[in-house]
Structure formats: C-alpha cells, structure tokens
Structure 1
Amino acid sequence: MKTRILTGLVLGLFMISGMLYSFFTCLMLFVIICAFSHQEWQKNFLINESKLTKTIYTVFFLVCLCILIFVEQVSYSNKLNEWLPYFNGSVILLLCLFGIPLYLNKNWKFTQSWYCGIFYIYFPLIAGIYFLNQDFETNRWLILGLVIINWCNDSFAYFTGRLLGRTPLAPSISPKKTIEGALGGIAFGILAAYLLNIYMFQQPYPIEKIIVLGVAVCIAGITGDLYESKMKRLAGIKDSGNLLPGHGGFLDRFDSFFYIIPVGIFVLSI
C-alpha cells in the first residue's frame, strides 16, 4: 500500500506539473502516455500478430505522433474548432462500439484488436491536444479538472464499496466493484465538479452542466476501467505492465483517462 501511495503521489505531481506548466510539457505528457500505453497494448493484446505486423503498427503510430507534434504548431481556424464536439462525439461512439463486443462475446478475437487500440488510446488524446490548443490558459484547468473528478470518483468508489458494497457491478469482469461503490464515487465526483467549477475553472458553467459533467465523467471512468479489465481477463493477465510500482502498467493507471477526455470535452463543448 505504501508503494502504491508513493507512486500515486509522484505520478500525480508529474501529471499536474506537466499539464499546467506549458502546452509543450502537456503535449510531451500525452506523448509519453501514448507511447507506453501503445507498447503495453501491443505486448499484451496483439498476441496473434506477427512481428512484422507489430512493427508496421508501431511505425504507423510513431508517424501519427510526429504529425501531431508538428501540426499542433499551426493555429487552428475557427471552422476547425467548431468541429471539435463532432469529433469527440464520434470518438465516444467508436469507443462504445468497440467496447460492446468485449462485454457480449467471450471469444472475441485479438486479431481484431489493433484498431481498438487506435480508438482507445490515440483518438482521445488527440482530441485532448486539439482542445488544449484552442485556449491553453483556460482549457488546461478544464483537463486537469476532468482528471481530478475521475480521481475522486475512483477513490471514493473504493472506500464506499468497502463500507457499503453489497451488489456486484460487473462480477465477470471486476468482482470487487459494486453498484454501491459506483454510486458513491459518482456522488463525490459531482461534488468535486461543483467545487472545481467554483474555485478552479476560469469560466464557471451553469450548475446543470456541471452535474451532467460529473455524472458523465464518472460513468466514463468506470467504463474505461471495466474495458481494460475485460481485456486483461481475455488475455489472462493481472497487470498490463510493471513500470508503475503498486499500480501495474500505464494501461492500468490510465484506462479511465482515455474515456474521460473525449466525454468531458464533449460535455464542456456543447
């Protein structure tokens, strides 16, 4: 537990500093998350692919990252910014479409999972970069707010589940998660969103939107967690990696992060 807490504190400090210091550090933070998550996805979930195919995927992802890094230097037009909610809506839809088979079909083939990795890891973070580039001074606090809401949801869902948990949420995927814990996490997630709207967001939003934001981000975080848990069960592994002591791998730590980014941005943009 001490190792987990220490790693969490260091990781939290690293993420907060990276998100707030400058757009470049935030971009590099996203690139690091992408790179290590892609490596773990390829190692654990592309077990039926040849080495050549895996190499092609890696080159493809690296090219996408290079394009992203260079393209972000260009000032985006207002017309492009208007399409951001539609892009995020499409990403959310794709995440749902590619996630549903994992819950319905136990014999889902890993030979199909390479494109799930694109939608699960890269598209959400690309959406985040576009959002940050619109107005970094304002939107960096919003992205950090989404992360804090998710942290509160995750933490209080754990404690509420330990105290009051009785009804399994998804016993075949994550036996320890309970409906009571999820509801407790959502309640504290809404409270976190409310407080962030008062004390941290530079442009306060209507209370109705904040409630929707809190609920949506919490549900998205839970879904992302269950999605990765299902993938690990199908792969027969406990953790996606061991780079983060006490937490496992990058996919273990950022599984919900990939879901909350497009969902949160979508709610804030409409």
Structure 2
Amino acid sequence: MDKRVISAIIAIPLLLFFTIKGGIIFKIGVFILSLIGIYEYSNAYKNTNNKVIVPILLFGLLLHTVILNMRNLEVLFPLIILICVVSMATPIFTKKYNIISSAITVIGFIYIVNFFGFLVLLRTEVQGYKYIWIVFLIAWASDTFAYYSGRIFGRHKLCPEVSPKKTVEGAVGGILGSIIGLIIWHFLFKDITIPVAHLIALGFFGGIISQIGDLSASLIKRFVNIKDYGNIMPGHGGVLDRFDSILFIAPIVYYYIELFIV
C-alpha cells in the first residue's frame, strides 16, 4: 500500500501538469506514454512464439503523431490500412515473425497508438481541458466503485477465467460510479451546457467500456502469463496497467461529444 500511495503522489501532479498545460506539453506527454506502452506491449510477448513487430509500431507512432499535429484526420484510417498491410507482408520476407505477429502488431497499433491519440484529439477541442476530465472521471469512478461494490456486495463472478476477483455486483457498481462521476463533472464545469441526460448516457456506456478495457488488458496478460505490463509505477504496474480503461474510453467520449454535443 505504501508503494501505491507514493506512486500516486508522484503520478497525480504529473498528470495534472500535462493535462492543464495542454498544447505541445500534453502531446509530448502522450507521445512518451505511447512509447512506454509500445515497449510494455512488445515486452509482454517476448517469451512467447509470437513476437510483436516493433519497428512497425514505432513507424506508425511517428506517422500518427505527424498526422495529429497537422489535423489531417482523414488520413488516420488509411494509416491503419497501411499498418495492416505492412504487418501482414512482414512474415512473408522473414521467419522471425508469423501471422500471429501480424495480428498482435495491428492490435497494438490500434490499442496503443490510435487510442492514446484520441486523448490528444479530445484535449485540442475548444473545451478540451474540461472534456478530457470526462475520460479520467469515468475510468477512476468506475474502477473505485467497482472495487468497493465488489468487496461489499460481490457474490456472482463476472469473468472468472479472465479476472477471478471481478463480480457482477462490482460491475454494476462501476457503471453507477461512472454516472456519479459525470454528475460531479457537471457541477465542476457548470459553464458547459451539456444536458444531464447526455452525461448519464455517457456515464452508462463509459462505465461498461471502461470495464471491458480492464478485462481486455487482463485477457492479454493471462495469454502471455504475466501479472503486470511493467513496474514504472510501483504498486500500480505499468502504463498499460493504469491506462487500460482510459484507452478504451477515450475514443467513445471523443465520438460521443463530436456526434451529440459539439
């Protein structure tokens, strides 16, 4: 517990600094997180027969960063196609990789590079500084409420083969927590006139997606037989351990705001 507290004391001010500053500072922060995420993801597969094609992920990250800076968003989908084609072509020319390597490389690009990029897109919106906290509040509130709801009321296992400790009651608590978190956001940023009904809907879907993100990360870790992706935050694990829910929530919040609010 001491390690977790110390890590949080260091990490929270850093998160606040990068998020409040925005602009190039925030983009640099997300770029660094993406690099660490790529390292953790590829390292997770190092003891398996399926290696991640790291040069493709790094190449994709550089191109993705340039595209985001140019706000040339219509090129993002062709970039995913390019990454897919190059990943599938690589095992043809080298026996170091196989078709599973191609698959996990494409997944890694979408999961890490593309999903982290949605934090940048969201932060650069006109009210981006306030919108970005929707992502964090959904993730934190869902995680916190799910944990305590599971401990107090948990009776029925949710996905025992993926995460033995998670319960249905905890999952319901996580969804309620996300909704409560966005109600709190509503009172913190009263100048943004988002109908409460939208926040409830976003909290409901966000709470579900948040837990799917958490379970998806656990599924990968079970597949490669590791406990944590890394130890950059003692007591918390690696970047992908801490951002597993946030990565899934970011695109949902971005598109919801783009479609229904902005």
- Give the alignment's TM-score, normalised by structure 1: 0.80
Bigger CA drift: 147-156 or 223-232?
A: 147-156
Provide the C-alpha distance between the structure 1 equivalents of 2:206 and 2:58, rounded to a whole number of angstroms. 32
1:1-270 aligned within 5 A = 1-45=1-45, 47-48=48-49, 53-54=53-54, 56-64=55-63, 66-68=65-67, 72=69, 74=70, 76=71, 109=100, 112-135=103-126, 138-200=127-189, 202-270=191-259
Alignment RMSD: 2.6
Structure 1 runs of 4+ with >6 Å offset = none
Q: CA deviation at 1:9?
A: 3.1
Provide the C-alpha distance between the structure 1 equivalents of 2:106 and 2:175, rounded to a whole number of angstroms. 30
Q: CA deviation at 1:199?
A: 1.7
CA contact (8 A) 2:178 2:207 kept: yes
Distance 1:62 1:194, change over 3 A: closer
CA contact (8 A) 1:16 1:144 kept: no
CA contact (8 A) 2:138 2:210 kept: no
Provide the C-alpha distance between the structure 1 equivalents of 2:149 and 2:26, rounded to a whole number of angstroms. 33
CA contact (8 A) 2:57 2:109 kept: no
Distance 1:50 1:174, change over 3 A: closer
Bigger CA drift: 173-182 or 3-12?
A: 3-12
- Structure 2: unaligned runs, 5 residues or longer: 81-98
Q: CA deviation at 1:65?
A: 5.2
- Give the alignment's TM-score, normalised by structure 2: 0.82
Distance 1:37 1:59, change over 3 A: closer
Provide the C-alpha distance between the structure 2 equivalents of 1:250 and 1:127, rounded to a whole number of angstroms. 16
Q: CA deviation at 1:265?
A: 1.3
Equivalent residues, number: 238
**1:80-127: per-residue Cα shift (whole Å, max 9, x none)?**
6xx7xx98xx9xxxxxxxxxxxxxxxxx94552110001111112223
CA contact (8 A) 1:198 1:204 kept: no
Q: CA deviation at 1:50?
A: 6.2
Provide the C-alpha distance between the structure 2 equivalents of 1:237 and 1:21, rounded to a whole number of angstroms. 35
Q: Identify which of structures 1 and 2 has the higher relative contact order when contacts are C-alpha pairs closer than 8 Å and 6+ apart.
A: 1
Distance 1:59 1:195, change over 3 A: closer
Distance 1:67 1:242, change over 3 A: same
Provide the C-alpha distance between the structure 2 equivalents of 1:248 and 1:266, rounded to a whole number of angstroms. 29
CA contact (8 A) 1:49 1:111 kept: no
Identical aligned pairs, as a percentage? 28
Distance 1:146 1:58, change over 3 A: closer
